[in-house]
Structure 1
Amino acid sequence: MKGILIASVLAAFAITVIDSLSCEHCESFNSSCISEIVNCGNESISCVESSVNSTLGESLYSYENKFCSEINCINNSNSVVVSFMVRVSDNQQFSFASQCCQGDACPDNKDPVKESESARADTQIQCPSCYSYNTTNCKENTQSCSQGERCVHIIADHVNGNKVELKGCSNIDEATCDILTPGNVTVGEFTFQMVNCINEITTTTPTTVTTTPSTSTSLKASFISSVFGSLLLLKLLF
C-alpha cells in the first residue's frame, strides 16, 4: 500500500513538471510576431524560437516562429544558439537567429543585423559573395568586409523545404563556426549542411619588379662594344 502511494505521488509530480512548461507562441511573415505564453502539451519538453531577416534581391523578407517542441535540447545539437548575419553586398544580407531551450522560455535574441550596422567600419578584407535559393547557381562577386566580419560559405535548409546558399562577409563568431563547421548540424528549424568560415581573404596590389643587369651581362655588353669599335677602326685604316 505504501509503495502504491509513493508511486502515485511521483506520477503526480512528473505530470506537474511536464505541465509546467510554458513557451512563447507565434508565427509571422513580414510583420511583427505578437507572441503569447502558452502551456505546452505533455509531449513537449522544449521551447524553440527561429527567425530570418533578409534583404537579398533588395526585397525585405522576415520570418519568425516560436513554439513548443519535443526536441531534447540538452542531449543533441539543438541546444546550440545561433545568431549571425551574412552580407553579400552593401544592400543585401541574410540573418539567422535560432535557439532551443529546455524547460523554460528562451531569452530574447539580439538582432545581428543591427549589431553589424552599428559597428560598420571598412577593412581591407574582401570575400567572394553571392546567394541562391533552392539552386546551385551562385554567381560570385566581391564584397568588402567591415570590422569584425570574416568570409563565409554557408548552405542551410529550413524545415519548410527551402534551401539557401550564401557567400560573403559575416559577423559569425569563432565558437559558432566550430559548432557548425562539421556540417549537417540542426539548430531549431535550420539544418546547416555546410559552414565554411575563413579568417580573411585580402586583395594585394601587384608590385613592379626592377631588375639590375648582372656582372656577366655587363661584361658581355662591354666586349661586344669593343669588337664593334675595333672593326670600325680597321675600316677607317684600310
Structure 2
Amino acid sequence: MQQVKAATVFALLLMTLCSCENSFIERQNQTTPADKVIANPPSDGPGGVVTNPGGQPYPTITKQTFIPEYSLWAQKKTLTWRIEWPNYPVGTDPNTIPTVFTLSNGALNSFDFLNGQPASTTYKTHFNLYHNAKLERSSDLWDELTHSFGHGDQMEFVSFSRFTTTIKGLENMVKNRPGLFETYWTGITEDSPEYQQGDIFLIKVSNVTDPTTPSRYGGIRIVSMMPRIIEVYLAVPND
C-alpha cells in the first residue's frame, strides 16, 4: 500500500512539474497580453492547404513580444511564437500539415501550400518544425519543397545548436536578456537535428547574399511531443 501511495505522489509531482514547463509562454499572459492568437482558422487561411479542400486543421499560434524592463538590456526585444498542433489522425498526408515556419511574419505553411505558390513564398521561409520530428532549414527540403532545390542562395541560412539551460534560465533570456541568444552561441551546429520533448536549440539566421547584414539569433524549445507544442524565439532590435 505504501508503494502505491508513493507511486501516486510521484506521478502527481511529475504532472505538476510538466504542467509548469508546458505553460512557459502562457504564464506570461498574466502580465503581458498576447499580440496575436490564431486558433484553428479555416484550411484556406494562413498556411492553409488551398490545394486540398478540407485540409488539416491549422495549429493554434500565440505570438508575444517581450521588451526588457531594464534599459541596459532593452536594445533588443524577443518575438515569441507558441505553436500547438492538433493530434492528426494516423495516416494523415504529411504534405498537408502546416510545418514550415517563416520568421519574418510567423506564418506556418504546409508543403502542399508552398508548392502551389510562387517560388518567392518559399524563399521567405526558414525551417521545418513538425515534419519527421526534426528541425530542417527550408533550403535543405529538396524532396518536400519544389522551389528549394538549387536555390539556397535565395534564402536566409539557419543554423541549429543544442543548448542546455533551465526553464527559468530560458525565461530570463526571453523576457530580460534577449542579447544572450547571441552571447551563448558557440558555433557548434547540427544539420537537421532530430528532437524530443524538453530539447532546446539556439538558432542563428544569416544572410548569405549580403554578409554585411547582421545575423539574428534566437531559440526553439520542444515543449511537448503529444500534443506537439513548440516555442520559437527571435531576438530583434528594439527600434
Task: Provide TM-score, normalisation by structure 1.
Answer: 0.25
Larger proportion of strand: 1
Task: Provide TM-score, normalisation by structure 2.
Answer: 0.25
Higher relative contact order (CA 8 A, sep 6+): 2
